[in-house]
Structure 1
């Protein structure tokens, strides 16, 4: 077994996921499903999200940097749009509404902390943080 370089201990093992065979999870948002690829219990999460055509992520504020890579479709907000292969990151404090275009969207999102929603609805990473 490989040893760590910075401590006298075994190297922790990698975690491999069979993402195509993972079930899609429903979210609190109509038309949006996700697969949780990583969560650490604090709200940090990596999510594969599928948005149906026109599905909306309602008004929210980012409490830390959010990174989004578009795999399929069209992901839009008031500031711009991303097509397949494009990437957007939003700084802490960014407040916006996001939605999928007419063909829907599949995106990979990396969240450092849960978002805060204007209507008080918990973001699904907040619920997982207490698990």
Structure 2
């Protein structure tokens, strides 16, 4: 076992995920499913999301920076659009609606805190019940 450089203890092990074989999770947003790749319980999360054609992430505000990388399809909001291989980040306080284009979208989203939705729905990683 390798030791840490900054403390006299064993280095924590990496966590490897077999993402293609992970099941898709349903969300409270019609036409959107996700795979939670990382979540720390406080709202920090990395999600692989699949949006059906025209699926919408309703009006919400980012409570911290959000980063999104588009893997497939077309991901759009009022300020612009992203195609495969493109990236967008949104600062804390950014308020918008986002949706998938006619071909849908597969995106990788990195969140530091849960978003706040205008209609009160919980963020993807909160209250999955």
Using the size of structure 2 for normalisation, the TM-score is 0.98
Partner of 1:67: 67
State the distance in 1 between where 2:123 and 2:38 align. Answer: 15
Does residue 100 (structure 1) correspond to residue 105 (structure 2)? The answer is no
Name the structure with the higher helix share.
1
- RMSD of the alignment, in Å? 0.7
Structure 2, unaligned runs of 5 or more: none
Residue 3 (structure 1) aligns with: 3
1:18-97 alignment to 2 at 5 Å? 18-97=18-97
Q: 1:127 Cα shift?
A: 2.5
Determine helix, strand or coil for the equivalent of 1:20. Answer: helix
Task: Give the TM-score normalised by structure 1.
Answer: 0.96
SS at match of 1:124: coil
| Match status 1:115 vs 2:115 | yes
Once the two structures are superposed, residues 63-107 of structure 1 have per-residue CA deviations (whole angstroms, 9 ceiling, x without a partner) of 000000000000000000000000000000000000000000000
- In the alignment, the residues of structure 2 paired with residue 76 and residue 18 of structure 1 have an alpha-carbon distance, to the nearest angstrom, of 29
Aligned with 2:125: secondary structure? helix
Tell me the matched-pair count.
128
